[in-house]
């Protein structure tokens, strides 16, 4: 149990550190008394390309930051538990790819927020389960569908200050990297092996003498085993932009 707690903490730590950096930047912005949105991503302009790296760390307000913090920590924890090797390089690739694609086609306005990264993580976990088809990955896929099933609507074109372009770019990037990182590493394979080793023993009236398993009827001296008895939160992550006129 103690070892499991340590493993869980180690899995949560990267997400907590990344979220902590975002909160520190927001606090510094608040103390400065000025908006740092101008340092975000501005599409199709050279001065705005720096936003590929800065966009995830800048947020319009604390509600925006909180909306991204919770899923960021949760999803990175999932990934560090089940996709240990991929977890080391995935966030960086998602930030770069989603930022670059957003810069290449999005509306002319400053785009800020970690939503592109969050959508990339959702997409990665979702599709990885159906690509790998092992039990831990599939379980996480269905859990993500339950928790964030409404994320698809955030990727559709819409007005206002929602950067659906960032959402869409993140979702596509996560899908692509689910294929790119689809081969499990040795560490990731151990998770499946551990689950198999920890399976409960079969009931005493299960016959496994053949190459398949079948249930033989219990005798009068046997008590029939009681058959086992056989959770929608949708988050909307938004990107608030601060439109400004381009200067010459």
Residue 196 has pLDDT above 70, yes or no: no
Residues above pLDDT 70, as percent of the chain: 74
Instruction: Report CA-CA distances (Å) from 68 to 15, 121, 151, 227.
Output: 11, 12, 13, 42
Predicted pLDDT at 33? 95
- 205 within some domain: no
pTM of the model: 0.75
204 belongs to a structural domain: no
pLDDT tier for residue 52 given thresholds of 50, 70 and 90: very high
Check residue 236 and give its pLDDT: 35
List pLDDT tens digits, range 203-218.
444 343 333 333 334 4
CATH number for the domain harbouring residue 156:
1.20.1540.10
* 178 Cβ neighbours under 8 A, 6+ residues apart: 123, 124, 126, 127, 128, 131
213 is a domain residue: no
In a domain, residue 93? The reply is: yes
Q: Quick check: is 244 in a domain?
A: no
Q: Model confidence over 92-132: pLDDT tens digits?
A: 999 999 999 999 999 999 999 999 999 999 999 999 999 99
pLDDT tens digits, residue range 160-192? 889 999 999 999 999 999 999 988 766 555 555
Residue 189, pLDDT score:
55
d(CA 40, CA 124): 24
User: What is the pLDDT at residue 186?
Assistant: 62
**123 domain residue, yes or no:** yes
- Higher-confidence residue of 199 and 174: namely 174
pLDDT over 80 (residue 202): no
How many domains is the chain partitioned into structurally?
1
Q: Out of 14-18, 25-29, 142-146, 204-208, pick the least confident.
A: 204-208
- Residue 225 in any domain: the answer is no
Across 61-74, average pLDDT: 97
The verdict on residue 228 lying in a domain is no
Alpha carbon distance 219, 216 (integer Å): 9
Residues of the chain with pLDDT > 90, as a percent, come to: 68
Give the domain range for residue 48. 2-187
């Amino acid at each position: 149990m103690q070892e499991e707690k340590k493993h869980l903490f180690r899995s949560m730590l990267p997400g907590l550190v990344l979220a902590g950096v975002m909160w520190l930047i927001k606090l510094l912005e608040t103390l400065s008394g000025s908006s740092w949105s101008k340092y975000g991503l501005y599409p199709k302009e050279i001065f705005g390309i720096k936003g590929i790296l800065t966009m995830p760390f800048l947020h319009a307000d604390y509600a925006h930051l909180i909306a991204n913090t919770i899923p960021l920590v949760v999803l990175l924890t999932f990934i560090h538990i089940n996709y240990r090797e991929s977890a080391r390089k995935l966030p960086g690739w998602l930030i770069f790819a989603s930022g670059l694609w957003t810069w290449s086609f999005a509306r002319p306005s400053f785009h800020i927020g970690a939503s592109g990264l969050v959508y990339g993580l959702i997409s990665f976990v979702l599709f990885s389960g159906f690509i790998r088809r092992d039990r831990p990955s599939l379980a996480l896929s269905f859990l993500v569908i339950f928790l964030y099933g409404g994320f698809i609507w955030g990727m559709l074109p819409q007005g206002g200050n929602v950067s659906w372009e960032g959402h869409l770019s993140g979702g596509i990037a996560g899908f692509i990297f689910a294929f790119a990182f689809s081969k499990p590493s040795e560490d990731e394979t151990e998770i499946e092996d551990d689950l198999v080793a920890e399976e409960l023993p079969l009931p005493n009236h299960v016959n496994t003498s053949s190459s398949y398993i079948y249930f033989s009827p219990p005798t009068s001296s046997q008590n029939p085993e009681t058959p086992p008895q056989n959770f929608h939160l949708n988050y909307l992550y938004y990107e608030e932009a601060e439109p400004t006129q381009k200067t010459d």
